[in-house]
Amino acid sequence: MASKTFELSEDWVVVILGLAIIALALFGVIVPKPSFNWSDSETLQNTVLSQKNLIAMGAQFVVVYAAAILGAILLKKNLKALLIVFPTVYLLTLFALVLAGNAVIKDYNLEAVIFSLAIGLIISNCFKLPTWFKEALSTELYVKVGLVLLGTTVIFGDILKAGSLGLIQALLVVVSVWYFAYWVCRKLKIDKEMSLMLSSAVSICGVSAAIATSGAIKGDTKKLSYVISLVLITAIPMMIFMPYIAQWLNLSQEVTGAWLGGSIDTTGAVVASGSLVGEEALKISTIVKFSQNVLLGIAAFFISIYWTYSKSVDDETKKEKPTLKLIWERFPKFVVGFVFVSLLFSFVVSPETNDQIKDSLKSLQGLWFALAFTSIGLETNFKDLFKQDNKKPLYAFIVAQTFNIVVTLIIALALFN
């Protein structure tokens, strides 16, 4: 009788890769963080394209390329295709990061992910990419490795620093808005997968929440890119107009900051809008937004449990009692890696060590996410994002975001007035 071949699932491979990158940093192999900030051709040449910065970019490439190769070997994927495709994806992503680093672009708070996605979409819709190229794209793996690394930033001590009022508001907003958004989605007969991603994006922290939820439920990358497009498009007008609405309503800086931090989905847009109001508004908005970001890991964990359980009682297996074993088999294991890393950096890694390596790991985390968005663009047909049957999620997002704005204002007035 032939022995059963042992195979690692993608989630366990993700945990291995994420922990390996973190272990390198903890043992002193700290990958330098490259700078992508520039304002004119001179600073572009002397800063971004300087020898020192190019070496930092090269060091990051070596780490992520080695991780991608190891992942392909462990998952028994086409290594020959990956050796060609990954450097291509990296170069496109690098171009997006440089574009996003421009001072004018930064003033508009346009994040690197939107350029990564746009570049991928342009290429995939203007050129016919070969099947072997698309099959070598490992979008989910890149997203999940980034999420494991995200655990290094969710520190228990920082949660306490966020302030009790910020945490109370974050909890009230996240719970109420998430359930309302999910209810609206289900009333409009939007599928569960899209409903979960959209509800998390509106209620928690935009792009990061959509990514985390997609990873937790192994969501469709086309649906993820659609939700991200909605988040990024709506964040800009909210960032511009909400400070003026707050002024018209004669709100204090504290209330305005709490309102902005709880309503606007992207951190960059929150900082920009808070800056338009004043120093106190900026401080409060940042605390509230950080408090919501802290809840991301907790939300992803419970969404994983819900999704795993609901999948275990779907139409195919509704007659089968959902045992703990079945739930564990379907549970996304990368969440275990995220929680482990968060606990490790909260209670084991010293603050001094964390200060030395946090910038490096955060930069690598952002790179993995950017690589994922480039990959999403390369495997997505642009017309699929805005076709007829995608109007219901758009309506649901607008309704949920409006509810978010109103409820957050009421809570901000109650807590910070």
pLDDT, one tens digit per residue, over 66-104 is: 999 999 999 988 899 999 999 999 999 999 999 999 998
Residue 379 belongs to a domain: yes
Residue 3 belongs to a domain: no
Instruction: Please say if the pLDDT value at position 224 is more than 50.
Output: yes
pTM confidence score? 0.72
Residue 1 belongs to a domain: no
pLDDT for the residue 326: 56
Both structure tokens of 173: 């907003």
Q: How many domains does the chain have?
A: 1
Instruction: Please say if the pLDDT value at position 58 is more than 50.
Output: yes
Mean pLDDT of 124-149: 87
Q: Answer with the residue of higher pLDDT: 236 or 218.
A: 218
Residue 328 belongs to a domain: yes
Residue 5 belongs to a domain: no
Q: Tell me which residue range forms the domain holding 22.
A: 10-416
pLDDT for the residue 384: 60
pLDDT for the residue 403: 95
Residue 185 belongs to a domain: yes
pLDDT for the residue 86: 97
Helices (H) and strands (E) in the chain, counts: 21, 0
Closest-CA residue to 268 (of 307, 238, 303): 238
Instruction: Please say if the pLDDT value at position 223 is more than 60.
Output: yes
Q: What are the φ/ψ torsions at residue 102 (nearest 5 degrees)?
A: -65, 140
Mean pLDDT of 344-353: 91
Contact residues for 353 (Cβ-Cβ < 8 A; gap 6+): 26
Both structure tokens of 349: 């890694």
pLDDT for the residue 396: 92
Instruction: Please say if the pLDDT value at position 381 is more than 60.
Output: yes
Cβ-contact 197, 213 below 8 angstroms? yes
Both structure tokens of 215: 């990873």
- Between 46-50, 59-63, 178-182, 283-287, the lowest mean confidence (pLDDT) is in 283-287
Residue 4 belongs to a domain: no
pLDDT for the residue 32: 94
pLDDT for the residue 2: 44
- Between 57-71, 266-280, 346-360, the lowest mean confidence (pLDDT) is in 266-280
Instruction: Please say if the pLDDT value at position 114 is more than 80.
Output: no
Instruction: Please say if the pLDDT value at position 300 is more than 50.
Output: yes
